[in-house]
Structure formats: structure tokens, C-alpha cells
Amino acid sequence: MISIDVLLLVCLGYVALLFGVAFLVDRRAQAGQLRWLSSPVIYTLSISVYCTSWTFYGAVGSAARNGLEFMTIYLGPTLVFIGWWHLLRKLVRIGRANRITSIADLISSRYGKSPSLAVLATLIALIATTPYIALQLQSVTVSYQIIAGEADRALTAFWIAAGMAAFAILFGTRNVDANERHHGVVAAIAFEAIVKLAALIAVGVFAIWGVSGGLSNIFADVPVEVVYGGGSIFDARWVALTFLSATAIICLPRQFQVTVVENIDERHLATASWMFPLYLFGMTLFIAPIAIAGLKLMPADANPDFYVLTLPLAEGREELALLAYLGGFSSATSMVIVAAIAVSTMVSNHIVMPVALAFMSAGREVSGDVRQLLKTSRRASIALILGLGYLYFYLSGGSDALAAIGLIAFAGVAQFLPSLLGALYWHGATRAGALAGMSAGFVLWAYTLLLPSFGDSLLMSAGTLSQGPWGIDLLRPQALMGLEGMDPLIHALVVSLGANALLLLGVSAITQPGPLERLQVAQFVDVFRAPGGGGDATAFSVREGTVEELYVLAQRILGGETARQLFDDMARAQGRTSGLPAPTDAVIAELERVLAGSVGAASAHAMVARVAERQIVGMDALIDIADEAQRLIETSRALSEKSEELEETARQLTDANERLRQLDAQKDEFLSQVSHELRTPMTSIRSFSEILLDPGGVAPEDRDRFAGIINEESQRLTRLLDEILDMSRLEAGGFDLTLSPVDVGRAIASAAEAVSPLARNDGVRLQVANIASPVMALANEDRLRQALINLIGNAIKYNGASEPEVDVKAHLVDGGVRIDVSDNGGGVSRAEADSVFEKFTRGDKSGRDRGAGLGLPISRAIMRAMGGDLIIEFRDDGSSYFQLRLPETAPVET
């Protein structure tokens, strides 16, 4: 017997060593010096955490009891790792691409980041890991008892559990790495892997050459059946166990942690693909010999699980026994640490954190508190996990074969498999399907395997076990639906995994994935095709409908016409006379280039890549994106147009304002002029009438004269008012001139007649030219006469020549009638030419008659209102004459 003190010292020393390794490596990792650690050997050795005390102790026990069956536990993982290119590589790729932190994270993430799936997966992981932890506790406890002598099993196990919890907490929760990587732990368990391998090989070598005298001797007098185990080796159980272990190497939380989460470089998988099976090979090589040696040399009632320990002890090799103990201790603690870390990560991420965040007040500073909460929840979870493991150990009596307990755990985590495979390979797997499958599988596993393992207990009585709940025969836990005669493990497997897979298939088939789920499907199932995934496929794996989809995309972004043109050109470049171009890399690149002009290079590439690479989410989402972009472009264009319009409007308003101001000024001017004009005759009338009313009397000849002046002035006033009225009417445009064909000659003659008294008075000779044939103009006869009278009157009044003459001529020009009114007095000077048409202006020679000065403006307005004009024409000698212009018209048919 080795003294307890020595034992404890060795254990503590070993733990301290492990700590040292972990601490050192963590420090170097934080300093960024990860080179040594990123060796594929370290990675592979860390995967060997698969070999727990079940392998170290329990495999020998299994070999001794059941023959070669123990090999299945290691052949399954071998097959999975040999086929790494397909399953493991995809798993690792997805894990890295999506920053997956646990198997629950992967499942929940794939099925639309579903929190309910995460919780379910976490619970399954927690409960399935419990027996496994219990088996580690059991092995350490029993091995301790064997070496150190009898002790209270439950108490010992308790302290061991507490110690393991402390290790796990100290190892795994010192700092929370962003990627959930624990470099120190990985290094420590790699170290442990070497220790346990060395220990087992040492005992094996001892068993063969130290005890049995060589390889051939050891099996010499052992019947083959003992080696093979009873019955057929390669039976259903062999297949089932191989399958289970193959499942476990992926689905066990700790295995997922070291293989996927802790993976630094995907290429390490290539090395692990052969190195890990090699490690397993090395571990199992000596199992059978040790078992045989134990069977031969140890008493019949010795627990074959612990031959590894009892054999050296029995032969007096205490150092070897200590080494063996260390190996077993090592294998148990590495499992517990990694499993506790993995499961506590799940519990804190998927159960504690969501609940805590829901309750967290908004005011708290998020990062610091969250990290603290994370750490605390992790630690509490680890304590919980170990506590549950201890509970299981306590309730189950702690005396079962280690392998049997381990297999229960295997079957539990196997419930992840259907949903996991669906997540990786089946586009149509939905969240509802995964939920249904996993829940059913879990419940059935618990019912058929977990609860019966307690034997007769409160959870499941012996009666229920043998006759079914409430005596219902068909619901017997180990013979559901009448499936009798099966090995309980196989029965449980078939029932739970069968229901799991069937429900996954069935429910997925009748449900639709949500939008987030569809996105995730592409991320996961098509990870080797996506641009981020790279590697496997060629640049674009193009299929039939791709070009049509690209065409639709182009139409949405570029517009119908442009897209058609583009595709036509591309087709023609390929020599096609009609239809769409073939989807070559050049076509796709060209399209990308053109689209980049509208939506930017990154978006264009993303859109085209997704269409061309068969992303399911693709078309609808892409079309929505394209529509959105289009709408944005249009909106911004409309906005800029609007703002231009507004500018224009503002400008127009400013102009109008300006004009209004001018008109206002003009109006004021007009009013002041008019009032001045009106006042002058009024003054005369008033003064003369005052004189007439004068009581002093007025001479009769003065009376008549004065009355005459008053009369004249009144008339003048009236005329003025008429003119003003005319003017305003003409200007306002409310003046309706009725036009009709007018004989111009007749109008002139009539006007001349009206003016002749004035001409005679002033001694002016009036000449009216004769017109051969009647000239018709479209005009208003009265108004024309008025204008003519005004012009001719002006010519008479303002003629300063000594022998005044006024000429009136009418002639035809090019569809128009011209009437020239000229005098020999020179007419209007150039300087006055513009201003004569101003209101209230009188010519220089205005001395003789005081008209209002509105005559010319009125006449011009009349002419213009009739569709003609009144202008001043200048002759070469500087003299001028007035010209009336009118449109010609056909004479009225009589």
C-alpha cells in the first residue's frame, strides 16, 4: 500500500504541474506567441481527451467481460477521422466561419439562431454529460480506495468532485476569451494525453513481458472465446457501438469543444486524421493483454475495470501502480475539466445570459458587468455540473461497469446527430423539425436508458421497469412497442434515434424555414461554395437558370432597356444570334462590372456571386435589395429636381415682384400726370366762371368770350377724360374691337373730311392720294378713322413749314396695308421718336394746341388692337413720317 500522504502529494504535485503548463501557455497566448501552440500535434493530443478513465480503466474491464467489443469505441472515431474531408472539415469550416462556441450554438445558429433550440440542446448536453462525469468520479474514487485503502466511498467521491470542480473553475474561467478558446487548457490536456498514454503502455508492457513472459505466452492457454467474448463478435451490438462511438466523437460537448471550437487552423485536421487514430491505436494496443493477464492472475472477484491498477499492485510494483494511478487520475480530470468548461459555456451562454439580460436594467454599464456575470454563471454552472455528476454517482450506487455508464452518455449525445447532420447537409431541415426530433429523442433516451440505469429508484421503480408504467405492457422502458429481446442499449438507440430522425424528416417536410433560417442554411450547408468558404468549388458553379436570374437582376438595377442591350451584346459576342448569353466567367465578370457602376463593387459582387452560386435565399432578397436601391436612386433624383423647381419658382417670384413694383411706380406716375392734366382746364373753367359771376359785371363782349372759353375748356376736359378712358380700356385689353373688312380709301377720305376745317383754318394743304382699286383691310372702321384723324390732325398742327402740306398715301405691301401720313415740316425728330408715344407727351411744336398728349399712344394702341401697328419711318434726309400698318383682307363679296 502506498501511504495516503505520498498519494496526495503526487496528486497535488501533478495538478500543480498541469496548472503551471496551462498558466504559462495562457500567458504566451495572450502575448501573441502562439506559434508553438499551433502545432497540429497539440491539436491532435487535445482531441485525445476522448480517452477518459473509461478508456484507461473501463476498457480493460470491458475486454475482460465482453471480449473484443471494447474496440468498437475506438474504431468508430477512427472511421470518422479517416473520412475527415467530408464531415469533420465541414464542421470545422462552419464553426470558424460562424464563430460557433458550442454544439448547442451550432444547432441553434443553423436553425435560425433559435433560442429554444439552444436551450434544449444545452439541457440535453447537461443531462447526458452527467453519467459521464459520474463515471470519472467513480473511477477516481475507486482507484483511490484501491491504492490508499478503504475509505468512505461517498465522502471520498464528494471531495474528489469538489476538487475537480475547483480545478475546472480555476482552469477554465480565469478569463473569457472572445472565441471561447482556452489555450492553456488545451496545452494542459495535451500534456495529460502523453501521461496517460505512457502510463497505459507501461502497464501493458509490464503485463506482457513483466508478468506473462512474452507476447505468445500471454494468450497461450487462454481460450479464444475469452478473448473474443461470448457469442458472435460482429453482431448488431458491434455495429451499434461502432456507430455510437462515431457519433460521440463529434457530438460529445467536450469533443466538439476541442475539435471545432479550439481549432486554430483547419489544416490541422489533415494531421489529426491519421495521428488521432494512431493515438487510439497506441492506447488500445495493450488493453487485451492487460485484461488477459488480469483474468489469469487476479482473484475472481476483483473488479476487472481496475486491473490496470491492481495488477502492478499485486505484483508489488508500487511505482508502476502510482504511475497507473496518475494516468487514470489524469484521464479523469482532463475529461471533467473540458466537459465542465464546454457545458458551462453552453449553460451560461444559452440559459443564464438571455435570462439575465432580460432582467438587466438599462442603466448598467454593459461590458464590465456582463463579463462578470458571464464568469460567475460559468463557475456556478461548473459547480452544478459536478454536483449533478455526484448525484448520479450517488444514486446509481457507483458500482456499475464503467463502460456501461459511458454508453448511456454516448446514447444521450447521439440525439444531436440527426439535427446536426440536417444542419450540415440538408437545406430542408427546419427548426421545427429539429425541435421535434431532439425533444422526442431525448425523452425516449431518458425513458429507455437513463432512468432504468438507476435501478429501482424514485425516478423509475422496478415495477415500471419490468411491467411498464401503470402496467401498460407496450410502454415498458426496455421493450417499447413490443420490441422485445433486444439488448437494452440497442433498443434505446433504435427507439430514440429512430423517432428523432423520423420527426426531423417529417416535421421539416411540412414546415417552412423562417427568413433568418434560410440565410443560415446557405451559411451552413453551402459553406464550401460561399465566397468566404472558398476552396472546394471553382469560381462559380453555374447552372441552367442562372443566366435568367442574372438577367432579371440586371433589369431591376439597370432598367429594362439597358439590361436588354447589355445581354444582347454579350450574346452576340459569343456568336449567338438570339437568346441569352451562356453563363461564362467572362459574362459574369462583365455583368458585375456594369452593375458595380450602379450599386458599387462590393454589392455587385455579392449579388452576382449569390445568384451564380445557387444561394437559396438569393432571388427574392436580392430583388428586394435591387428595388430598394432603385427607389433610393429615384427618390434622390426627384428630390434634386424638386429643389431645382423651387429655385426656379423663387426666381420667377422675384421677377414678378420687380415688375409689380415697376407697375406700381408707373401707376403713381400716371395718376400724377392725369391729375395735372385735368387740373389745367379746370383752373381755366373756374377762373372764368368766377369772373362771370363777379357782381361787378362784365362787358357783354367779354361775357361771350369768356363763356366761349369755358365751353371750349369743358369740351377739352371732356375730350381728355374720353381719351383717358379710352387709353385705360385699350391697355386693360377689355376693349373689344370688332373687326371687319374696311375700305381703306373710304376711311381716309372720311377722316380727311373731318379734319378739313382744321386744315383750312391753319392754311395747310391736305393731299390724299388716290388709290386705283379698293384696298381692303381688316379693321374697325370707326377706330381707324379716329387714328387717322389724330395723325392727320397732328401733322396739320405740328407742321412748321411756311407752305404746310400734309400727304396721306395708302399702298399695299406683301399682304399688309400701309397708310403713310407725312408732312413737309420734317416730322418728328429722331430724338423724340420714342418719347412721342409716351403718355402726356407733346411735341416740341405743341404751342398752338394743347391736346392731352394721349393721342398717339391711343392711336398706336388702336392699331395694335386691330392686329397692326403705328410706327415712325425715317427717310434718308432725316425727315420722318407716320405709318399705319394693317393686315390686308379680301374684299367682302357682294
Partner 1 sequence: MDRVERQIRRRKAREQAIALLAIGLFALLPPLAGLFELDRRIFGLPFTLVYLFTVWAALIVGAAVVARRLQDDDET
Sites of contact with partner 1 (CB under 8 A): 68, 71, 75, 78-79, 81-86, 215-217, 219-220, 224, 227-228, 232-235, 238-239, 242, 266-267, 270-271, 273-274, 277-278, 281, 285, 288, 534-535
Taking the complex as a whole, the smallest distance from the CB of residue 280 to partner 1 amounts, in Å, to: 8
* 499 closest CA partner among 443, 427, 422, 423: 443
Least CB distance to partner 1 at residue 17 (A): 31
810 vs 818: CA distance, rounded Å: 6
Of 154 and 278, which CB lies nearer to partner 1 in the complex structure?
Answer: 278
Q: Is the dihedral of CA 146, 329, 168, 392 positive or negative?
A: negative
**Shortest CB 192 distance to partner 1, Å:** 22
Cell numbers of 43, please? Answer: 491539436
Rounded CA-CA distance 262/179 in Å is 8
Q: Which of 529, 461, 410 is nearest to 74 (CA)?
A: 410
- Are 477 and 452 in contact by the 8 Å Cβ rule? The answer is yes
Whole-number minimum distance, CB 230 to partner 1, in Å? 13
Nearer to partner 1, 81 or 390 (CB): 81
Exposed / middle / buried, residue 679 (Cβ in 10 Å: 0-12, 13-18, 19+):
exposed
H or E segment at 453? none
Q: Are 416 and 124 spatial neighbours (Cβ–Cβ below 8 Å)? A: yes
Give the residue with the Cβ less far from partner 1, 84 or 206. Answer: 84
**Min dist. Cβ of residue 448 to partner 1 (A):** 24
Choice between 144 and 540, CB closer to partner 1: 540
Find out whether 295 and 225 touch, Cβ atoms under 8 Å: no
Q: What is the DSSP letter of 458?
A: S
Residue 566 CB, nearest approach to partner 1 (Å): 30
* Residue 250 and residue 87 in contact, taking contact as beta carbons nearer than 8 Å: yes
Would you state the cell numbers that stand for residue 212, as one nine-digit string? Answer: 506473462
Our CB check for partner 1 shows the closer of 527 and 791 to be: 527
Question: Smallest distance, Å, CB 429 to partner 1?
Answer: 24
Joined grid coordinates for residue 115: 433560442
Joined together, the cell numbers standing for residue 504 give 426531423
Distance CA 604, CA 607 (A): 5
Cβ 43 to partner 1, closest distance in Å?
Answer: 13
Pairing relation of β-strands 880-887 and 765-768? Answer: unpaired
Task: List the one residue out of 542, 552, 548 whose CA is nearest residue 613.
Answer: 542
Q: Least Å distance between CB 75 and partner 1?
A: 5
d(C-alpha 487, C-alpha 235), whole Å: 11
User: Nearest distance from residue 205's CB to partner 1, in Å?
Assistant: 16
Q: What is the DSSP letter of 49?
A: G
Question: Closest CB to partner 1 among 232 and 640?
Answer: 232
Our measurement of the distance from residue 539's CA atom to the centroid of its chain's CA atoms, rounded to an integer in Å, reads 24
Smallest distance from the beta carbon of 418 to partner 1, in angstroms?
A: 20
Q: In sequence order, what are the beta bridge partners of 743? A: 776
Q: Give 814's Cβ-side CA count (13 Å radius).
A: 1
Residue type, 379: R
Q: Nearest Cα to 767, choosing from 748, 785, 784?
A: 748
Kindly report the backbone phi and psi dihedral angles of residue 779, in degrees, each rounded to the nearest multiple of 5, phi listed first.
-155, 180
* SS3 category, 874: strand
Closer residue to partner 1 (CB): 223 or 316: 223
Nearer to partner 1, 158 or 274 (CB): 274
Q: Which long-range contacts (CB under 8 A, 24 or more apart) does 713-716 make?
A: 713/681, 713/684, 713/685, 713/688, 714/681, 714/685, 716/681, 716/850
State how far the Cα of 188 lies from the Cα of 49, in Å rounded to an integer: 11
Closest separation between CB of residue 417 and partner 1, Å? 17
CB of 32 to partner 1, least distance (A): 23
Q: Residue 79 or 594: which CB sits closer to partner 1? A: 79
Q: Give the nearer residue to partner 1 in terms of CB position, either 214 or 485.
A: 214
**CA terminus-to-terminus distance, the chain:** 155
Distance of closest approach, residue 530 Cβ to partner 1, in angstroms: 13
Nearer to partner 1, 228 or 670 (CB): 228
Q: Which one, of 375, 336, 406, lies nearest residue 160 by Cα?
A: 336
Identify the DSSP state of 178. Answer: T
Query: With respect to partner 1, which residue has the nearer C-beta, 112 or 277?
Result: 277
Q: CB 590 → partner 1: shortest distance, Å? A: 23
In terms of Cβ atoms closer than 10 Å to its own Cβ (0-12, 13-18, 19+), residue 651 is exposed
Query: Is the CB of 182 or the CB of 237 nearer to partner 1?
Result: 237
Of residues 239 and 586, the one with the C-beta less far from partner 1: 239
Least distance to partner 1, CB of residue 65, Å? 16
Crossing angle of helices 103-110 and 115-148, in 10° steps, is 170
In angstroms, the CA 574 to CA 593 distance is 18
Looking at the DSSP bridge assignments, the partners of residue 779 are 740
| Cβ contact 187:22 at 8 Å | yes
Query: In the complex with partner 1, which residue's Cβ is closer, 215 or 639?
Result: 215
Q: Which is nearer to partner 1, 138 or 242 (CB)?
A: 242
